């Protein structure tokens, strides 16, 4: 039975005129299995204990993902715990006033995220019987939900095979495959998303995605990556060629950043 593909699949050509598919590396079944196993084994013992990783509640996952946009983990943790104590369920948030929500968000900054979160809670409560959709298209129609957050909900909450790409994942995959595409372009980002989609497992998608982000946040750093300690160095072309610093290729930086630290290149 073919794998269900849930991440974006643009069919545009590259700037050079080459077909989109020609930009993708050849990923064999054996490579996928080995890559997944190495990453999963490392993550089981090396992962940080973060409060949003202790649950598969889609509501808690959405709260954490919105808070982590452009805000570091160390700052998010106390705000996440306080917010979840004040609004433990989606329904409790949906029934709250904007003033109350903003009061609990105060100090975290980027207040548009709080407005999105309240609007999202109300829409899910009123239009979806309080349940998050398991369909990417429906998730993307909700306030504040983009491709990244939709992938987080699908994979982490529902274990639906779905790619999840932030700046950390971009960097890891660009190095693993020595991706020459400019990741500051729409085409380059689409290539990385499709590579990630090919790698995500049928089962345990959420754990795999979180492990990939954790690797980028803790070992596969923008500068001075800890390559000797990397669990997937045997699969990494940049490590084997000794040119990790050359990837990812970017001519300009992206504005929106998801931070489980450190993201920027």
| Alpha carbons 21 and 254: distance in angstroms, whole number | 24
**Nearest 5°: CA angle at 177, between 176 and 180?**
125
Q: Which of 65, 147, 170, 181 is catalytic?
A: 65
Helix segments in 95-244, DSSP class H: 98-105, 112-127, 136-140, 147-152, 167-176, 186-199, 205-218, 237-241
Q: How far apart are the first and last CA of the chain?
A: 39
Q: C-alpha 261: how far from its chain's center?
A: 12
Identify the CA nearest to 9 among candidates 154, 190, 248, 215: 190
| Alpha carbons 262 and 234: distance in angstroms, whole number | 23
Question: What does each C-alpha distance from 140 to 11, 13, 104, 111, 215 come to in angstroms?
Answer: 20, 25, 26, 20, 27
The neighbouring-strand residues paired with 204 are none
Residue 21 falls in the annotated catalytic set: no
Question: What does each C-alpha distance from 106 to 34, 89, 198, 257 come to in angstroms?
Answer: 45, 20, 40, 20
Please give the positions annotated as active site: 65
């Amino acid at each position: 039975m073919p794998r269900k593909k849930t991440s974006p699949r643009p069919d545009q050509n590259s700037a050079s005129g080459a077909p989109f598919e020609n930009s993708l590396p050849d990923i064999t079944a054996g490579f996928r299995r080995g890559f997944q196993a190495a990453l999963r084994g490392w993550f089981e013992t090396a992962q940080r204990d973060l409060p949003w990783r202790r649950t598969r509640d889609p509501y808690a996952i959405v709260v954490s993902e919105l808070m982590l946009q452009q805000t570091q983990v160390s700052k998010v943790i106390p705000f996440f715990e306080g917010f979840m104590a004040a609004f433990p369920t989606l329904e409790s948030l949906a029934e709250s006033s904007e003033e109350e929500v903003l009061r609990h968000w105060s100090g975290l900054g980027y207040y548009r995220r709080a407005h999105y979160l309240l609007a999202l809670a109300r829409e899910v409560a009123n239009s979806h019987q309080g349940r998050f959709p398991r369909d990417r298209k429906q998730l993307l129609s909700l306030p504040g939900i983009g491709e990244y957050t939709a992938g987080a909900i699908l994979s982490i909450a529902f274990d639906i095979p779905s790619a999840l790409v932030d700046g950390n994942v971009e960097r890891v995959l660009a190095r693993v495959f020595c991706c020459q595409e400019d990741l500051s372009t729409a085409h380059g980002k689409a290539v990385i998303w499709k590579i990630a989609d090919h790698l995500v497992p049928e089962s345990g998608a959420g754990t795999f995605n979180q492990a990939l982000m954790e690797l980028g946040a803790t070992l596969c750093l923008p500068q001075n990556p800890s390559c000797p300690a990397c669990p997937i160095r045997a699969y990494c072309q940049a490590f084997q060629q000794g040119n990790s610093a050359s990837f990812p290729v970017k001519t300009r930086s992206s504005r929106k950043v998801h931070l489980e630290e450190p993201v920027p290149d």
